[in-house]
Amino acid sequence: MFIRKLALAALAAGLTLGAEAAPFVIRIADSFPKGHVIYDTVQDVFIPALQEGGKIEVKYFPANQLGRMEDVIESVRGGVADIAYVAPGIIPGKMPVTNLLSLPGQFESGEQLARVFLTMATGSLKQEYDRLGIQVVAASGTPPYQIFTRVKPVHLPEDAVGLKLRGGGGDADDFMRDMKISVINMAASDMYDALQKGVLDGVAYLPATAAANHLQEVTKHATEGAPLMSLLCIYLIDKKRWDGFPPDIQAIIQRAGEKMSIAMGREYDRRNIVEKKVFTDAGGTVYALTDADKAKWRAAYAEAPAKMIKKMEGRGFGYARAAYDDMQAQKAKAR
């Protein structure tokens, strides 16, 4: 009897040891509809990379299903989502120095911005995220924004004076205000109605995602090659939640985040070129800036970096200058 019990106990122990642990369930939340660059990259790159190997199971909640972007930090702290998206300019005061990367004329492509930010997130900007109690797990960026308008074409800085334009959000929009543009900030999902009703004369936005927001239906003119601001796309997780993950789960998330970041930047760059046809096929006119035109735009916002750094330092963010210098150094490596 004793031997039989021992054999049964050994068999039970073997079954227990052989059973695979249940996968970690990760909930990802963002604000994007199907067809958007970010939605498609999350589906095609991020989720497969996270689930590879079977240790993580992903549940994805796009299109503001778990709340609006303005509440994203609170949502990850409260456990509503594990990984959530935010554009730093949409949450004023939370990531002020990060907005240096959205200054006009800084980046040539989305991939370049992604590579620079990934390095800065664990270096010169890390204290910004430590203060918020978050861990950046993925990020990407856009090519330079362009200007889309309903009626008046904008080729040069003086053409934009007095226009009501939707900006990129946050302190990086100060350069537009200095150029006597009336900046109205709103979510991208609200642009269509605002343009249709005349609340906006135009928007600073991207050819890559203009069609996803149906801008070809409510604007008629666009620029190409304007060296304006770029926008960061950050996916973050609560630091305590992150610290509770085993090292192998952290490593999977890090690798998947890096993979998506670069892929998303490249996809933004690709669509920025091919989506222009949607606008022109709808009857829109795209003005390609000449080198002389671009020089005038750069001259118009030449003082923007110094003003923004001074503003950040005045608020007590003494690392703004070091972060800006680091950004310049990383840009040179990421060209």
* pLDDT digit string, tens, across residues 163-176: 999 998 778 789 99
Sign of the four-CA dihedral 80, 267, 320, 311: negative
Among 236, 257, 250, 260, residue whose Cα is nearest residue 24: 250
Q: How confident is the model at residue 20 (pLDDT cuts 50, 70, 90)?
A: low
Maximum distance among all alpha carbons in the chain? 95
- pLDDT exceeds 90 at position 74: no
Say yes or no to pLDDT of 58 above 70.
Answer: yes
Say if residue 153's pLDDT is above 50. yes
The model's confidence at residue 91, banded by pLDDT at 50, 70 and 90, is: confident
Q: What is the pLDDT of residues 173-214, one digit of tens each?
A: 899 999 999 999 888 889 999 999 999 999 999 999 999 899
- What pLDDT, on a 0 to 100 scale, did the predictor assign at position 4? 55
Residues 31-40 have a mean pLDDT of: 89
Please give the share of the chain, as a percent, with pLDDT higher than 70. Answer: 94
pLDDT given for residue 303 in this prediction: 96
Query: In this model, does residue 6 exceed pLDDT 50?
Result: no
Kindly tell me the sign of the dihedral angle through the C-alpha atoms of 57, 61, 66, 70.
positive
b/e sequence 226-265, b meaning 16+ C-beta within 10 Å? bbbbbbbbbbbbbbebbeebeeebbebbeebbbbbbbbbb
Check if the beta carbon of residue 235 is closer than 8 Å to that of residue 61: no
The confidence band for 89, taking pLDDT boundaries of 50, 70 and 90, is confident
Q: How confident is the model at residue 2 (pLDDT cuts 50, 70, 90)?
A: very low
Work out the average pLDDT over 241-253. 96
pLDDT interval class at 18 (50, 70, 90): very low
Q: What is the rounded distance in angstroms from the CA atom of residue 225 to the CA atom of residue 290?
A: 8
Q: Which residues pair with 288 in a beta bridge?
A: 224
What pLDDT, in 10s, does the model give residues 295-314?
999 999 999 999 999 999 99
Please state the rounded mean pLDDT for residues 282-299.
97
What is the mean pLDDT of the segment spanning 17-39?
Answer: 84
* pLDDT-above-90 percentage for the chain: 76
Provide the pLDDT for residue 187. Answer: 80
Instruction: Tell me the CATH number for domain 23-143+230-272.
Output: 3.40.190.170
Residue 165's closest CA among 119, 248, 223? 223
Q: What is the mean pLDDT of residues 65-92?
A: 83
What is the predicted pLDDT for the residue at 17?
Answer: 47
User: Any residues with CB less than 8 A from the CB of 333 and at least 6 apart, and which?
Assistant: none
Residue 213 one-letter amino acid: N
Give the contacts of 188 (CB within 8 A, at least 6 positions apart): 205, 209, 213
Query: Given this model, what pLDDT does residue 16 score?
Result: 47
